[in-house]
């Protein structure tokens, strides 16, 4: 008999991931330690140790005062990064060998200034901001995380998308030697995600390089990941190597894998349940009580206008 771990939302891991993926998850576990962390640090300082980010400016995108930050160990030790395994503690155990220096990001598609950019050259012209965001996972658990990053809007404007650019598509690193789960699973790697262009340039959308004022750990998506806090966590693509501006709605990994369960928009919506569990409540990591799920994860004032006139049950 297969016994799965119970996630904080009361959902088994075997229910969260496709069964074929879940049953194979242990074949690609090879935990190692020591390697490289980066993000806005010179190569000589890039280690797997915790490193402070300099010059970080705190912004006013804060959660309500009655919500406390999730502990660092929980943020970095309980998360999804399926390239390293399908249990919540697998990314921390298996991501140590990810080499995040050197690292380049290819930007192409409908832009006036396409090119392949070194991660430092992408980051350094911009101000690093710390923003405390709610983070809501589709499995009905949540966190409050002080992310450090750059507004995606600033990066978008830098490459000057043309009028044909309606969406922004993202791609994760494809390297089975570093990401062992890419060797064996039913997911069609590399991981891909996308946003509408107006979602991408919304002031909330962040390209993240750190958390808690420190370099982003490998298991959380180093050296560069996406955070759109009004969307479920699977939209937060990690270890980004490609950004493409496209005219048509781009494919996204979980929508391709299970379109009935994972829509393109993935907006947090307590009224639209996952086919196998309710989204009406959530459990904050570190808390015992459940709390009501907020529409758009509590960011309706900033993003509801993006979806005016849309059927959010159909466009889930």
Tens digits of residue pLDDT in 235-291 = 999 999 999 999 999 999 999 999 999 999 999 999 999 999 999 999 999 999 999
Please tell me the predicted confidence (pLDDT) of residue 235.
Answer: 98
CATH tag, 13-307 = 3.90.420.10
Please tell me the predicted confidence (pLDDT) of residue 48.
Answer: 52
Please tell me the predicted confidence (pLDDT) of residue 295.
Answer: 98
Please tell me the predicted confidence (pLDDT) of residue 273.
Answer: 97
| Cα–Cα distance list, 24 to 182, 185, 225, 252, 255 (Å) | 12, 7, 26, 22, 20
Please tell me the predicted confidence (pLDDT) of residue 229.
Answer: 98
Neighbours of 29 (CB within 10 A): 15
Three-class SS of residue 161? strand
Please tell me the predicted confidence (pLDDT) of residue 33.
Answer: 28
Phi, psi of 68 (to 5 degrees): -100, 155
Which segments in the chain show pLDDT lower than 70?
A: 1-48
Please tell me the predicted confidence (pLDDT) of residue 184.
Answer: 84
Q: Where are the domains of the chain?
A: 13-307
Which segments of 142-272 does DSSP mark as H helices, in order? 152-159, 197-200, 253-257
Please tell me the predicted confidence (pLDDT) of residue 26.
Answer: 35
Q: Under 8 Å CB-to-CB from 289, ≥6 apart: which residues?
A: 283
Q: Tokens representing 30?
A: 């090879």
State the Cα–Cα distance between residues 314 and 15, nearest whole angstrom.
23
State the Cα–Cα distance between residues 265 and 278, nearest whole angstrom.
18
Please tell me the predicted confidence (pLDDT) of residue 186.
Answer: 83
- What would the 3-class secondary structure string for 10-79 be? CCEHHHHCCHHHHHCHHHHCCCCCCCCCCCCCCHHHCCCCCCECCCCEECCCCCCCCCCCCCHHHHHHCC
């Amino acid at each position: 008999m297969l016994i799965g771990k119970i996630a904080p939302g009361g959902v088994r891991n075997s229910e969260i991931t496709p069964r074929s993926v879940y049953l194979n998850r242990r074949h690609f576990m090879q935990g190692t330690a020591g390697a490289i962390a980066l993000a806005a640090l010179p190569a000589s300082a890039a280690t797997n140790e915790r490193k402070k980010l300099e010059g970080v400016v705190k912004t006013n995108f804060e959660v309500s005062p009655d919500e406390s930050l999730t502990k660092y160990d929980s943020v970095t030790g309980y998360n999804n990064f399926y390239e390293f395994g399908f249990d919540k503690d697998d990314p921390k155990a298996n991501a140590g060998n990810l080499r995040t220096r050197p690292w380049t990001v290819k930007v192409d598609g409908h832009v006036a200034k396409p090119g392949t950019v070194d991660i430092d050259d992408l980051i350094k012209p911009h101000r690093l901001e710390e923003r405390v965001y709610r983070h809501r996972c589709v499995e009905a658990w949540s966190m409050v995380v002080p992310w450090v990053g750059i507004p995606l809007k600033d990066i978008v404007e830098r490459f000057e998308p043309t009028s044909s650019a309606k969406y922004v598509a993202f791609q994760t690193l494809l390297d089975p030697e570093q990401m062992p789960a890419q060797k064996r699973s039913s997911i069609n790697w590399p991981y891909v995600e996308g946003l509408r262009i107006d979602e991408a340039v919304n002031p909330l959308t962040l390209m993240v390089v750190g958390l808690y004022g420190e370099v982003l750990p490998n298991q959380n998506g180093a050296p560069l990941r996406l955070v759109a806090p009004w969307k479920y966590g699977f939209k937060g693509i990690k270890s980004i190597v490609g950004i493409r501006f496209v005219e048509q709605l781009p494919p996204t990994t979980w929508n391709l894998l299970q379109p009935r369960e994972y829509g393109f928009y993935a907006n947090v919506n307590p009224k639209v349940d996952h086919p196998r569990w309710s989204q009406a409540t959530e459990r904050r990591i570190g808390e015992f009580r459940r709390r009501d799920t907020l529409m758009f994860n509590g960011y309706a004032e900033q993003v509801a206008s993006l979806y005016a006139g849309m059927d959010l049950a159909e466009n889930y």
